[in-house]
Amino acid sequence: MRKSLKNIHLWLSIPTGILISVICLSGAALVFERDITQALNPHLYRTEKPQEGKFLKPSELVRHIERQIPDPLTLASLQIPGTPDGVCMASFKETGKKTLSVNPYTGEINGWTENHPFFQTMRKLHRWLMDPPPQKGEKSVGKIIVGTSTLLMAIILITGLAIWIPRTRKSLKNRLRVSCTKGWRRFWYDSHVSLGFYATLFLLVMALTGLTWSFGWYRNAAYSLFGGQDTSKSHGEKRQKEKDSATTDFKVWDQVYTRLLTHYPEHKTITLSAGEAQVDPYPASSMRKNDRIQFDPRNGEIKKIIPYSQTPRSQTLKGWFYAFHTGSWGGMTTKILYFLVALIGGTLPLSGYYLWIRRKFYK
């Protein structure tokens, strides 16, 4: 049995090892994308509070935005910060995930938020091997290769863990440490065996959560396993929301915002859109746990508040999978941990190739 597991581990690793290294190392580069992007562009994410200043009303912010944007864009949502040094983020129907940073005190536009070209390249490499699908949700050769390699990576990790299990206490002691004084071959062997053991659990979490973006059948199975299902808004709902956003009375947002401030005196952000608002009531949390608020678009009356704890699991699972895939669930501590683990994951195939070549050709 042990010999069979070794063969499975070896012959799956040889053809996929380089791909796994590319996926892990590009993933490591993406761990701190948000932090680095904000550090490089502080004016887009932070503002200085005036001595006696207060936030403009949502309708006033919208008016300032419309005056400064040359192109006719349809405002989809306005995110207002819960801290005095935060900025507003305006999103538009025509710009996708690209958002506009706005000073909440003056309505002055700070600029568009954009991903740095380096991180754009790393993301294409990590998810699609530089071969992105023509449209969201569609397939491409690169996407299939990444998904297949990630699935095989999970099998390689499990077989590697089974092989790792020592037979004696002395072997256990050796397999938990890396020797730096017994030559390069022993160093790379210990690195492969010991560091691989320490990183296996986290690499498995990354692989098994990452597969939800590669295969629809896997995503449906994973959602079902955790008591949810992969749902998306119908075309009718999307068309209705687009229609509502085109006829929004932004003065109603002023009333909604005032009422939400009373209900949520402390919060991270309040996001207003057509007929609905979202509030992240946990300023210190590294995860988005939004309460959803439905309001009457005619007078701003709050109709229903759906706390995050009562949100259907099918709508929260994607956020949880993303958080556990990227390491953002525990803040900076888990980000650093995931970064180190991803680096180890990228070097494991390389140390494995080294050991295999030495054994195969330099006996």
Q: Could you give the angle at the alpha carbon of 37 between the alpha carbons of 122 and 201, nearest 5°?
A: 55
**pLDDT of 236:** 47
Look-up: residue for tokens 């990590």?
A: 126
Cβ atoms of residues 14 and 20 within 8 Å: no
**pLDDT of 277:** 97
Report the C-alpha gap between 276 and 295 in whole angstroms.
6
C-alpha distances out from residue 317 to 202, 207, 276, 288, 308, Å: 19, 16, 21, 12, 12
**pLDDT of 237:** 47
Angle at which helices 2-30 and 141-164 cross, to 10°: 130
**pLDDT tens track, the chain, 363 positions:** 889 999 999 999 999 999 999 999 999 999 999 999 999 999 999 999 898 889 999 999 999 999 998 778 899 999 999 999 999 999 999 888 899 999 999 999 999 998 899 999 999 999 999 999 999 889 999 999 999 999 999 999 999 999 999 988 888 888 999 988 888 889 999 999 999 999 999 999 999 999 999 999 999 999 999 987 765 544 444 455 555 555 688 999 999 999 999 999 999 999 999 989 999 999 988 888 999 999 999 999 999 999 999 998 888 999 999 999 999 999 999 999 999 999 999 999 999 999 999 988 876
Report the C-alpha gap between 49 and 350 in whole angstroms.
51
Report the C-alpha gap between 187 and 233 in whole angstroms.
53
The answer for residues whose C-beta is within 8 angstroms of residue 250's C-beta and 6 or more apart is 58, 59, 62, 63
Look-up: residue for tokens 């973006």?
A: 213
Cβ atoms of residues 111 and 68 within 8 Å: no
Report the C-alpha gap between 284 and 272 in whole angstroms.
21
First to last CA, the chain: 25
pTM for the predicted model, two decimal places: 0.91
